[in-house]
Structure 1
Amino acid sequence: MAVFWKAVAGGLLLTVSLLGGPAEGQGNERGKKQVSGNSVLFLSQVRDLWRPLVHTAVNLSEINSIKSSFQFRTYDPEGLIFYGDTKNGEDWFVLSLMNGIPLMQISKEGMLVSVEGGMKLNDGKWHTLEVSNQEKFVILEVDGSTGLKVGMQSQQTEEVMSGGLRLALGGILIEKEKMIVQFKPQMDACVRHGNWLNISVPWEAEVEELWPCYENIRPGSYFPGTGFAVFNTSVFQTDEDGELRVELWADFRQMNGTILSIKPSQKELEFKVEANKNTEEVTVSFREQKVILKSTFKKLLIMFARAELRVVQDGDESQSTALSVDPVLTTWRDGLLGIGGLLGEAEDGSHFLTGCLEKIQVQDRDLDLDLAVKHTSISSHSCPA
């Protein structure tokens, strides 16, 4: 297929809050909130994509350790974790995940190095990461074992290190084009128990309030009832039979609100899937027709064909219902797909979804909400357990 996922241009003008209280901190003379380097930090908090969540600076003469360690937890396969630089960004280091695997990118004395490897870290468990510089090597240890080891040696005379060093979490302080490997920076992840070069200077936050992390998580996308995510339907390609498949995995009895909605361009809302926790029912509506299901199933498959819409529960064709509507697929050609809310209606938020979608697939491919225009309270890859 050609380009499969594409975010919708524009944004959702909605207010934002995440469950729980803000992390502790205090202001400084520049009005920036200051936090301890060992704070619990939710890296996916909304801000400009490449902008750090928190950052700090220290004089190299004050550093007596060349080692940083922290604990890290995520189900997200891709995103930016940790950045450091010297010489005001001439030499730099970036640690991220790509397909769940650690990726280190380093610039030093004009050399650019990129290396990835080790175990996948997006298993939802807390992992202890340690980054150190040992002579000509940069080493990443994961849970006490060496994950990556990068050697760098320049023909130039090595300079005596002096000046300042900058550190950042969740963002970088250089242009993203300088990196060898490009990736999506936003990451649904948490960092805690940081010990950064054994320094105790406070970090500055680039947001007014720092959001907390859930104590326990499980895989999925969590909607707290405050907003929804939007995709452009025109990028979802039909298969060879002219069909389009949408599959949802969830405990539908625990969900309440609009799960999916589709609004063709310049037309009224045509399709929606709604859950009612009180009645334990899921209603699938297409134009004037609707199907009401008892929400005892764990997987819901919706197939859009040329002249039919079919709804299948738990992969059991004997538990399927068809709506004969012609044409169905035109709904997808130019419009918007809403996940967790009702497009074009109910701006009071009464239809926003509350609950965890364990998995969302379109054409048998996982739908990554990080590629949507989404409300900032939605956790793309984790739900509270």
Structure 2
Amino acid sequence: MLKLNNKIFKLLLIYVIFSMVIISSAVYAKTLRIDLRGMGRSLDDVAGRELIIWKVDERILSSDQRQALVESLNDRPDDSLTYDKMKLKSNSEGFLDYDFDKGTYYARVLSSNSKIDIYPFSFVAKADDEQIIYPKGHHETPPGEVKLFKISSDEKPLQGAVFRLYRIVNGKEVLEKRDGLSEFVTDADGEIRIDNLLMGEYIFEEIEAPKGYRIKEKKTFFQINQSSTTNVRIVNYKENEGGKVFRKVSSKTKLPIEGVKFVITNRSSGYDKRIKKDGKDLVLTSDKDGYFKVDNLPFGTYYLFEIKPAAGYYPLSSEKSFQIDEFSLDKVLFIENEHIEIKKHKIKKRIPKTGDISLILMSALGLICSIMGAVLIKENK
């Protein structure tokens, strides 16, 4: 009887262990399909393709987190990735099914000279997900590109400016690299061209200006749209050039004043000479926020003259002097105007008083005229 009980106990134990394995597999592993077949792809392109897949996190990362992860790993060689990895191969129909443990994965489809390239991709495996993963091929969602044009204030292309490129991912700046390099240099035409950029917001950061020039704006933001070229134009100051930002406001309320016009002069031998652009006087106009700006002026002292004040405001009584130097763009110069206040005077109506002297005089004169008229009439008779 004891032996029989031992046998039953062993069978029950085996059953429990087997059940735990089955349940564990059902809970912690998920069969997912990675389908390399896409629109326009032939079986020759996708059948028998080798993949390397790394498990990069036990957690289920968000799409933004995965995008940032993919971008951070794309330029790293396979042997530098220290995550747990597996090598798989698509079947004769171009897909594979595999039981993935719960977590986040990063995958690369190995390149082949005779077959299409497929982007590295990430995916998650979780118990309630029946997803089929469709990696994107390079030819199916044409990425955007950017062309940077680097010029001087007189429109000459500038060679030798050095930039870094960042993509904004989940509010953070992620450095873009090409062939392991993170710096891009303008060529003889002042251009940098970078392709295969995903849609989104980017930053060009200038880290070194061409010889004889200074960096004007360190960071330039731009947007990449799918299948299009974005042109970015960046101007450099010469080493002895700068600019100034002004703001026109009410002296009382400090609110912006729009539409005020100005000219700028520099003084030579006691005379003011107006700054010109394209052969005409440079006229600056304050915008709806009161701002206006002058740029690309040689270092020195300049004078701002108001030539058209805003309606309802007194014009400036004199010119405003300002300095152009290496740091003149760092601080805004406020120009204040005084509002014209029109005082309204009430006119009191005068009501004659009884016994007023003027009324008495007028009555007396009327009486005299009447008597004289009567006398003249009597004499004529």
Whichever structure has more helix as a proportion of its residues is: 2
Whichever structure has more strand as a proportion of its residues is: 1
Which structure is richer in relative contact order (CA contacts within 8 A, separation 6 or more)? 1
With the shorter chain as reference, the TM-score category is under 0.3
Q: Which of 1 and 2 has greater Rg?
A: 2
Scaled by the length of structure 2, the TM-score of the pair is 0.21
